[in-house]
């Protein structure tokens, strides 16, 4: 899948793209945006700009325009558009014809890239599963099914929002262990979860599972995903059916679809399972997926409080993890989701679950960082946090790196906490 679009020598006539942290010409993610007071349209992020997909028609590189849903559903079309856009953006002869279709990203509104019909969230980060399990079940932190089954649950698609959307502190039912009856009120243990989102491209028919060897072809791209969590609600409600109101009040994603083609240089071998762990059942095992199905991504979590903004302090890095800590590959998640005949559809979104590393400073949630609220995290502003407070801003970032290739990023996934209504 590595081709001329990944050449590290490529530069663009869009000057801000050259050396850009997230969106050099080697990335070219797709998204939905609208310039000020204009209707949404499909675009590609390039440096600090967004260029309309329609530019390809104006430049004579295509005869017809396409929708983003068509891009998602058709791998060959997605690859062709990426190659055509790379050609347009590196050839200065196209600059004049493209100029009316080029917009400063700061002047645009970013939207969810497509209608999300369904959203499922997995639990693929084994270090998170073990650490959280110890908090709730010290003698039995990892349930016996975890190493056999990619655990997941059905989430709420209607409350997914793009970066920068305000997160209203949820209200719900909680019960402290030392009282007889539950109470209702704003969450006191609001948390983040560092996850990746997996966009489904080509769907499958109801009753027809997706084979593990073909699952990667059903993935249209990736994003960052913050599955906001009310831990006090979760502790009271999660038995026996799992997460509900503790999770469905809000999920934030980065709005650009980072394509499998852009990620091709950053594929890795899946981390070997520890000695003694069971090998997955045959329907979940593919040698090619094990050899190249993991993602080489470095993941950062940053916080900026109201006091930090007042003191002109930059966001503080809470945690640094890597996508390689996932126990299951994205392809295994897709295959397991459809193994009973469930039909995925174009635009469906899968969350990986919290991607924590093996060390305390690589935890993907405050629940882990604060050891369940027992150990406050000290910030540069001399504040402390066990869980998120009103007016905090939480930022997720991802960076793909590999020797011999230009690094690419996902763009920020930001959320601002507002008081409960």
Q: Do 150 and 124 touch, CB atoms closer than 8 A?
A: yes
Q: Do 298 and 322 touch, CB atoms closer than 8 A?
A: yes
Residue 390 known to bind ligand: no
Dihedral over Cα of 265, 26, 257, 106: its sign: positive
Instruction: Kindly report the number of other CB atoms within 10 A of residue 361's CB atom.
Output: 11
Instruction: Name the strand (E) or helix (H) holding 84.
Output: helix 75-90
* Alpha-carbon gap, residue 65 to 118, rounded angstroms: 27
**Sheet of 152-154, strands arranged across:** 152-154, 119-122, 349-351, 194-200, 219-226, 251-253, 160-162
Residue 322 known to bind ligand: no
Q: Do 118 and 157 touch, CB atoms closer than 8 A?
A: yes
Nearest one of 197, 347, 261 to 44, comparing CA atoms: 261
How many whole angstroms from its chain centre is CA 80? 24
DSSP secondary structure of 267-298: EEPPPPPPTTPPPPPGGG--HHHHHH-EE-EE
Instruction: Kindly report the number of other CB atoms within 10 A of residue 64's CB atom.
Output: 6
Half-sphere exposure of 147 (CA within 13 A, CB side): 14
For 310-333, how does the pLDDT look when each residue is reduced to its tens digit (9 = 90+)?
Answer: 999 999 999 999 999 999 999 999
Residue 393 known to bind ligand: no
Instruction: Specify the pLDDT at position 140.
Output: 83
3-class DSSP state for residue 374? coil
* Alpha-carbon gap, residue 280 to 318, rounded angstroms: 34
Residue 234 known to bind ligand: yes
Instruction: Specify the pLDDT at position 54.
Output: 95
Residue 227 known to bind ligand: yes
User: Strand 251-253 to strand 160-162: parallel, antiparallel, or no bridges (unpaired)?
Assistant: parallel
Residue 327 known to bind ligand: no
Residue 123 known to bind ligand: yes
pLDDT of the chain, 421 residues: tens digit per residue = 899 999 999 999 999 999 999 999 999 999 999 999 999 999 999 999 999 999 999 999 999 999 999 999 999 999 999 999 999 999 999 999 999 999 999 999 999 999 999 999 999 999 999 999 998 888 888 989 999 999 999 999 999 999 999 999 999 999 988 899 999 999 999 999 999 999 999 999 999 999 999 999 999 999 999 999 999 999 999 888 889 999 999 999 999 999 999 999 999 999 999 999 999 999 999 999 999 999 999 999 999 999 999 999 999 999 999 999 999 999 999 999 999 999 999 999 999 999 999 999 999 999 999 999 999 999 999 999 999 999 999 999 999 999 999 999 999 999 999 999 9
* Alpha-carbon gap, residue 314 to 198, rounded angstroms: 30
* Alpha-carbon gap, residue 27 to 342, rounded angstroms: 32
Q: Do 370 and 142 touch, CB atoms closer than 8 A?
A: no
3-class DSSP state for residue 284? helix
Instruction: Specify the pLDDT at position 408.
Output: 98
Residue 238 known to bind ligand: yes
Active-site entry in 128, 325, 336, 337: 128
- All structural domains of the chain: 4-111 (2.30.30.230), 119-418 (3.90.850.10)
Max CA separation in the chain (angstroms):
74
Instruction: Specify the pLDDT at position 274.
Output: 93
Q: pLDDT averaged over the chain?
A: 96
Instruction: Name the strand (E) or helix (H) holding 122.
Output: strand 119-122
Q: Do 303 and 394 touch, CB atoms closer than 8 A?
A: yes
Dig out the tokens for 140 from the structure.
Answer: 């039995």
Q: Which distant-in-sequence residues (6+ apart) come within 8 Å of 381 by Cβ?
A: 305, 307, 308, 311, 313
Active site residue 128: yes
Instruction: Specify the pLDDT at position 137.
Output: 83
Nearest one of 121, 117, 289, 116 to 217, comparing CA atoms: 289
How many whole angstroms from its chain centre is CA 252? 9
Instruction: Specify the pLDDT at position 273.
Output: 94
Residue 389 known to bind ligand: no
Residue 290 known to bind ligand: no
Instruction: Specify the pLDDT at position 388.
Output: 98
């Amino acid at each position: 899948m590595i081709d001329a679009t990944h050449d590290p020598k490529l530069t663009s006539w869009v000057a801000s793209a050259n050396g850009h942290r997230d969106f050099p010409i080697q990335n070219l993610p797709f998204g939905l945006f609208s310039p000020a007071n204009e209707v949404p349209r499909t675009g590609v992020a390039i440096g600090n700009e967004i260029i309309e997909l329609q530019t390809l028609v104006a430049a004579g590189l295509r005869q017809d325009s396409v929708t983003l849903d068509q891009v998602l559903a058709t791998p060959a079309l997605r690859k062709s558009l990426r190659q055509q856009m790379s050609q347009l953006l590196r050839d200065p002869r196209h600059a004049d014809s493209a100029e009316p279709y080029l917009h400063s990203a700061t002047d645009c509104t970013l939207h969810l890239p497509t209608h999300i019909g369904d959203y499922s969230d997995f639990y693929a980060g084994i270090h998170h599963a073990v650490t959280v399990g110890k908090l709730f079940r010290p003698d039995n932190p990892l349930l016996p099914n975890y190493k056999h089954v990619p655990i997941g649950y059905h989430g709420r698609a209607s409350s997914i929002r793009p970066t920068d959307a305000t997160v209203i502190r949820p209200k719900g039912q909680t019960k402290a262990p030392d009282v007889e009856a539950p109470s209702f009120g704003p969450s006191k243990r609001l948390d983040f979860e560092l996850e990746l989102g997996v966009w489904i491209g080509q769907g499958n028919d109801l009753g027809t599972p997706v084979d593990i060897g073909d699952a990667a072809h059903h993935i249209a791209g990736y994003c960052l995903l913050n599955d906001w969590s009310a831990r006090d609600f979760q502790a009271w409600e999660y038995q026996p059916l799992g997460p509900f109101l503790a999770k469905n009040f809000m999920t934030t994603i980065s709005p650009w679809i980072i394509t499998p083609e852009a990620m091709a240089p950053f594929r890795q071998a899946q981390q070997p399972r520890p000695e003694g762990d069971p090998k997955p059942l045959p329907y979940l095992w593919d040698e090619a997926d094990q050899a190249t199905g993991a993602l080489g991504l470095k993941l950062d979590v940053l916080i900026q409080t109201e006091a930090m903004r007042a003191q002109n302090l930059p966001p503080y890095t809470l945690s640094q993890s890597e996508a390689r800590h996932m126990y299951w590959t994205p392809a295994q998640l897709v295959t397991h989701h459809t193994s009973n005949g469930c039909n995925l559809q174009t635009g469906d979104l899968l969350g990986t679950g919290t991607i924590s590393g093996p060390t305390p400073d690589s935890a993907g949630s405050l629940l882990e960082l604060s050891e369940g609220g027992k150990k406050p995290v000290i910030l540069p502003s001399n504040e402390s946090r066990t869980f998120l407070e009103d007016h905090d801003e939480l930022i997720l970032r991802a960076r793909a790196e590999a020797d011999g290739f230009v690094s690419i990023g996902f763009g920020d996934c930001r959320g601002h906490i507002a008081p409960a209504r």
